[in-house]
Every structure is written in structure tokens, then in C-alpha cells.
Amino acid sequence: MHILITGGTGLIGRALCRRLLQRDHRLTVLSRQPPERVAALCGGAVTALARLRDLTPEARFNAVVNLAGEPIAARRWTAERKKVLWDSRVTLTAELVDFIAAAETRPAVLISGSAVGYYGNRGDLPLSEDSPASDATGDRLCAAWEEAAQRAADHGVRVCRLRTGLVIGPGGGFLQRMLPPFRLGLGGPIGDGRQWMSWIHRDDHLSLTELLLEQGALSGAFNATAPNPVTNAEFSRCLARLLRRPALLPVPAPLLRLVFGEMAELLLGGQRVLPQRLLGAGFRFRFPQLDQALADVLGS
């Protein structure tokens, strides 16, 4: 297949590119990075695309995988930062669907990223793909992101929307930011530690993406999370145990709100998300348990 990938140089994207290249797919990667840097990150002969508007209606792709989006927790949520987050997700996805609509030959499938933030902070309530979106103003980003992608279905394209949890993988992501204090024995739960963390090993995310590329009967929303979410306190204990360090120093909620402002609610809230549709489709997780996933990444 010839596949167009946005966000191809991110934590998931670069690993997905390498896997798809091993399967002899042809890849075009949308990235602001120089072409030689894109090739180095993605692991081979990919075509680098700087701007979507450089594509003409004659461009043909069998599939589109949309993983673009500025890191959600990279910095404090100022008004300017919120616009960057919106444009890198919602605006770019809308432009991508506009390209699909104008294409002379449309792709068979659009696999588009979203996040478990779609559900908002729902406490201990188990959440499936049928659970409604949060109606809180601050949680509208994911819903708008999905709505933009779903428009491709109006043009005869199969659309799969991935509500991804915290991705555990080497070389980046939230785990790499947690490791330094935990390795120093300064780690601990965030706030009261009771908020749920829905997570997924990067390799499982790659495998489920391949499944959705190949299985033409699958469409709609999919929770890209392992079947065993944990609380933040459980996550902290597991990580500390594997590092052979204590995890006794909780981060107080008032301090988080002082330092991070509105973004602190992303750390203090959580979602107990279950991948019911993937399990129903027969997908088998290689890393269903947190200790397996962390041991694999820390060992690497």
C-alpha cells in the first residue's frame, strides 16, 4: 500500500513507519522536519512532505494514518498554546479531509488519532467506546478532532478513530519524563493517586493500527488502551518496584495547580478506559499488564 502518515516522526509515528517499511509499504510522511531527518527517524526510504497543500488531487494513497498533534502536556496551557494544540489536531485534520474529498482517487481508510481525554474526568466509571464524550468546555478538543476526521466518511472513506491512552515506549513520551525523579527515589503518586491511568504499550498500538489498516469491516471509534488500566498510585508503585526505588513522595494537588495552571487537571483527573471493540474484534494484546509493559521498556 501507499500510505500517507501525519505525525510520522513522533513516538508512535516513527516506530509505525519502521514497521510498515518492513512490510514493504510505500510511505509519504508529512513533517516540518528536513527530509534527511525524516528519513533518519522513520528508518528508510520515505517521501517527506512539508505541507499538505503541496499534494495535488492526482496524488493517490491507499490509506491515511493521521497521528499529528503537538504534545498535550509539554508546557502550560496559555491561550496561545491552546491554539497550537487545536490547530495541530483539529485544523490539520480538517485540511487532511479536504484533501481526501478533492482527491481523484480517494484512500480506502483514514485512521485518525484521538485520545482518552474524549471522555473527560469520569472517576471510577468504566468507559467503553459507547460512553459519551465529556461536555466540559476544556474537553472539547478530542470531540472536535474526531468530528473533523469523521467527515471523511461522507466521501466514502472508512474512518477509524483511535482514542489513545498514555503510550509506554522507549525514546520519549510521558514515561521518559517520569523516570529521572523515580530513579532518584523522589517519585510518588500525583495528588491522592486515585485517578485512573489508561495506558498502552507502543508495540500494541502499532499492531492494532495494522489490524485496522487490513480489516475493511472495522470502522468507528476504538479505545487504544490496554485492557487493565491502573490508578496513578498503582502505576507509581509498579514503576518504583521495577526500578528498585521507593515511591513515597506524593506531588500535592495545590502545587500542581500553582505550577501548571489549567493543565494540572490533566494530571489530577483520569479515565478508566476499556478496549471493548478491539477485544471484540479478536485483537490480542502482547502487553495486557502494566508490569509486563514497563519491564519490556525499561529492559530495552
Q: Count up the domains in the chain and report the number.
A: 1
Q: Output the domain CATH number for residue 128.
A: 3.40.50.720
CA 77, 78, 82, 88 dihedral sign is negative
CB contact set of 236 (below 8 Å; sequence gap of 6+): 182, 187, 188, 189, 193, 247
Range of the structural domain that residue 190 is part of? 2-234+236-299
Per-residue pLDDT of the chain (300 residues; tens, 9 = 90+): 999 999 999 999 999 999 999 999 999 999 988 999 999 999 888 999 999 999 999 999 999 999 999 888 777 788 898 899 999 999 999 999 999 999 999 999 999 999 999 999 989 999 999 999 987 655 689 999 999 999 999 999 999 999 999 999 998 788 888 899 889 988 889 889 999 999 999 999 999 999 999 999 999 999 999 999 999 999 999 999 999 998 888 887 787 777 667 666 777 789 999 999 999 999 999 999 999 999 999 995
CB contact set of 36 (below 8 Å; sequence gap of 6+): none
The three three-digit cell numbers of residue 282, written as one number: 479478536
Dihedrals phi, psi of 46, to nearest 5 degrees: -115, 155
* pTM for this entry: 0.94
